[in-house]
Amino acid sequence: MMVPHLQRNKVLLLFILFSAALPSITSAYANNNNNNEAKPKPLMRAWMCSGKTQRDMVDKLAQAGIVKSAINKEALLRVDRKNYVLQTQQGDSAHQDSPLPIGYGQTISAPHMHAQVLEDLLPPLLAASKDAPDKLLKILDVGCGSGYLTAVFGRMVESKENRRKSTPLNEGKVFGIDVVPELVHMSKTNVMKEDGDLLDSGTVEFMLRDGWKGYPENAPFNAIHVGAAAATFPKQLMMQLAPG
C-alpha cells in the first residue's frame, strides 16, 4: 500500500491520521428535557466504530461524528470493506475499526481513518464542481493498496445516472496507483467482486507507478490522497494539484 522507504513511517502515519480524527471524537448523551435523570447513549469514537456489517460500521462512524456528509456516507455504504480484506478476514473482522494486514507488509487503514480522509477532501471537490459544473473531477489515490478507498472515491464521482442519491459533485475519474505489482492486481480483483461497474465505465483505473512521482500525464488533479507518510515534502505531487 505504501511506496518504497516508508515502512519506518507506519507509526507516524497512524499517529497523524488519528490526530486528524480527534476533533471529530465526541461523547453523546441524551437530554430528556428537564428530566434530571439523563440516559447516556452508547459512547462512540474513533477506534470504537466496529460493526457486524458495512451499514452497521458506517452508521457508527456517523454517530461518532466522523462521517458528517451525506455524500461520504452514501459512498461508504456502496463499497463493502469485506471485499477489500484478505479471505481469512472476511468474517466479523472485515468491519472492525482497525487496520488489517493485506500482505506484502502493507495494511488497509482503519475505517475511521478513511472516513476522515473523505471529509477532508470533499470540500475542494465540491468547490471544483461549483466553479466548473461541466468539468470532470480527477482524483489520484497514491498507494491504492487493496483498492478500497479508490473504489469509495469512484462511487463519489461515478456517473450521475448511477448514483442512488443526487449530489452536487461532478462526474469524474479516479486513478489508483501503487509501486507493488501484486497490490495493483489485488485492487483490480477486489473491485471486480461487487464494484466492477467502476472499472467497466472507466471511472476507476489502477496502474503500477512510483507514487512519489504521481501521474503527471493526467494532471492536474482536484484531490490527491497519499496512503503513506513522506520522509520529505512530496513536491512532484504538489505540482500535480489543480489550482484551488
- The strand pairing partners of 108, in sequence order, are 100
Catalytic site includes residue 159: no
Place of cell 504521481: 214
CB atoms within 10 A of CB 73: 18
Nearest C-alpha neighbor of 126 from the set 227, 222, 23: 222
Predicted confidence band of residue 39 (pLDDT cuts 50, 70, 90) = low
Question: Alpha carbon of 216 to those of 2, 164, 204: distances in Å?
Answer: 19, 32, 17
> Catalytic pick from 24, 50, 109, 129?
109
pLDDT tens digit string along 87-99?
888 887 999 999 9
pLDDT tens digit string along 123-155?
999 999 999 999 999 999 999 999 999 999 999
Q: Taking the mean position of all CA atoms in its chain, how far away is CA 196?
A: 18
| Sign of the alpha-carbon dihedral angle for 2, 77, 26, 96 | negative
Is residue 5 predicted with pLDDT exceeding 60? no
